[in-house]
Amino acid sequence: MADRQASKELQVFQSFAAVCELCIDPDSIEKRNRPEPDIYCRLEGGKTLAFEMVWLVDQEKLARRLGDQGKLERYFEETARALPDGQRDQLQTRIGNARVFIRMQPSKSLSSRKNAARKIIEILLTVDPKFKGNLILPADIAKIASVKIQRGHRQRYLFHVDATSRFNPVPLDAIGKKFDIHYQSSARLELLAYFDLVPAPPQSELRKLCNLIEERLSRSCFSRAWVFDATTQRVCYQSTGCKQSERSVIITAS
């Protein structure tokens, strides 16, 4: 599970690096282990930055569903890897640069959702390599799942399964804990908080999160903070300037 989390953080950061204003050298991005921050990278001018990442997820409310979610994501990966050679290549051609978001009804049994997963893989083998958006599924599959394809800056597809029920859209506890931790870093340290299972909430809800960051940032080890919506590959908040004269920007969708 730790390896999967590390892989997801690396994928999320690569997406962030591709759209943020920092001009990060993509070949310089490295995943690190404790007590170092999660990510080290280098800007085009040669300056080194470190990033600690925090997944903005309501752990308490999602805990009951995350077990099934992990099983289903692994099942999608294993089913894709088990395809015959020709079909594996075909799947890579069809969705090789995509994040495939699958929302599954949490009320359905795990076995029925796995059956739907196999059929979804078969459908993905036939999609146009340029297609993005919501897939139209057969009626029996649509009762169990919905599928959205998002194209991005990747060399390999990534499956994300949402098998959760209602949750807190602004999990303040997840990010609040990060401000109390000290890290060993030879580079300037920044904080990257990201939404991944679900999109970032509306601005009225997002403001609560940004207020917490602004209150805690100047007393933390972080020089700057970002909020990134990995589902839409959009930076929706960044703090700017030095910590003593912090300014913040909530970036609205265009």
Q: What is the pLDDT along the chain (254 residues), one digit of tens a residue?
A: 567 778 889 999 999 999 999 999 999 999 998 889 999 999 998 999 999 999 987 666 555 566 788 889 999 999 999 999 999 999 999 998 899 999 998 888 889 999 999 999 999 999 999 999 999 999 999 999 999 999 987 778 999 998 765 555 677 777 888 998 888 888 999 999 998 877 788 888 888 889 999 999 988 999 999 999 998 999 999 996 544 434 455 555 54
DSSP 146-167: EEEEEE-S-SS-EEEEE-----
What are residue 159's DSSP bridge partners?
100
Alpha-carbon gap, residue 163 to 192, rounded angstroms: 25
66: Cβ contacts below 8 Å, ≥ 6 apart:
164
Alpha-carbon gap, residue 84 to 104, rounded angstroms: 26
Element (H, E) at 100: strand 98-104
Write b or e for each residue in 186-218: b if 16 or more Cβ atoms lie within 10 A of its Cβ, otherwise e.
eeebbbbbbbbbbbbbeeeebeebbebbeebbe
**End-to-end CA distance of the chain, in Å?**
36
pTM: 0.60
User: Up-side HSE of residue 139: CA atoms within 13 Å toward CB?
Assistant: 0
